[in-house]
Amino acid sequence: APAAAVSLRRCSTRVTLEGVNRSVIDRIIRVDHAGEYGANRIYAGQMAVLGRSSVGPIIQQMWNQEKDHLKKFNELMVAYRVRPTVLLPFWNVAGFVLGAGSALLGRKGAMACTVAVEESISDHYNSQIRTLMEEDPEKYKELLQIIKQFRDDEREHHDIGLEHDAEAAPAYSVLKTAIQLGCKAAIFLSERI
């Protein structure tokens, strides 16, 4: 029988950890997982408020990409044996509240939140790309490709937010600054805790 010829050997999901800078990899994967987790919660909050509005399908499209990002970082956490941040329960609530709260300001408020968060995240990804390039671009080739692709997705979300009148949100510059300060704090804490 042809089916008997199929190998049932288990595949390893772990990557070769030989020669990698564990502290850099742990920090990058932990914070990126936390960020993608938080982004998922933000979009969940926005969908709870605006899911049935004209901007609902746009938010859903961005959320679907964030779900793919989170799935990939879940896989990378196992492959690189990285523990998640202990702050995930906090990011769960804070992300949803930020998403729902910005959406309560209307579609412009939700899009202002998207612009602020995605700009912060794409800048953070750029910093990580520089770090990995300085470490060893060949050794971190797969991780670099993933981060570059996700950074490009986040930039696309940023641009979608601008196209949908983010800058016309009430107190846009104050809202954007406050959200970005929160993002910087979340990044700082999630890398370390």
Q: What is the pLDDT of residues 85-126, one digit of tens each?
A: 999 999 999 999 999 999 999 999 999 999 999 999 999 999
Res. 13: pLDDT tops 80 = no
Distance CA 125, CA 147 (A): 6
Q: What number is the average pLDDT over the span 18-28?
A: 91
Q: What number is the average pLDDT over the span 11-34?
A: 82
pLDDT at residue 14, rounded to an integer: 53
Chain centroid to CA 54: how far? 24
Tokens of 58: 């746009």
Q: What is the pLDDT of residues 131-177, one digit of tens each?
A: 999 999 999 999 999 999 999 999 999 999 999 999 999 999 999 99
pLDDT at residue 3, rounded to an integer: 43
- Does residue 12 or residue 108 have the better pLDDT? 108
pLDDT at residue 16, rounded to an integer: 63
Res. 191: pLDDT tops 60 = yes
CATH numeric code, 22-191: 1.20.910
User: % helix / strand / coil in the chain, to the nearest 5?
Assistant: 80, 0, 20
